[in-house]
Structure 1
Amino acid sequence: MQSHQNNLPPELERYLALCERVHQRMIREGTWPWKDDPDSTDGQDLVESEDNPTDI
């Protein structure tokens, strides 16, 4: 991830870098939840936030 010119806090820079790495890995591995239907609202395609790990 490129450094931003708008003086973001370092914590936010690290968070955005983490998000980018996770996104790229999911795309690369084919595990992106909405890869087959970007407009899907089918219940099995949704991600429940309470099931997300907090120790990433």
Structure 2
Amino acid sequence: MPCPYRSDRTSGTEQKLNLNKSTVHRILNSLICMEYAKQDAETLKYSLTFKFCGIANQILKTE
């Protein structure tokens, strides 16, 4: 099931990660579909959700 994002506002993330813009968008789209990221409707900027904190918590528990 496609879960499209609205914009290409990645704020230079592709340059910081040394990845193609299309790759960054594909990763963001996957994170949004899995509810690990979201896009603000007004600013069109991306951010991580609290669900992502669950991953960090699991990592910290194993160390």
TM range (shorter): under 0.3
Larger Rg over CA atoms: 1
TM-score (normalizing by structure 2): 0.25
Between Structure 1 and Structure 2, which shows a larger proportion of strand residues? 2
TM-score (normalizing by structure 1): 0.27
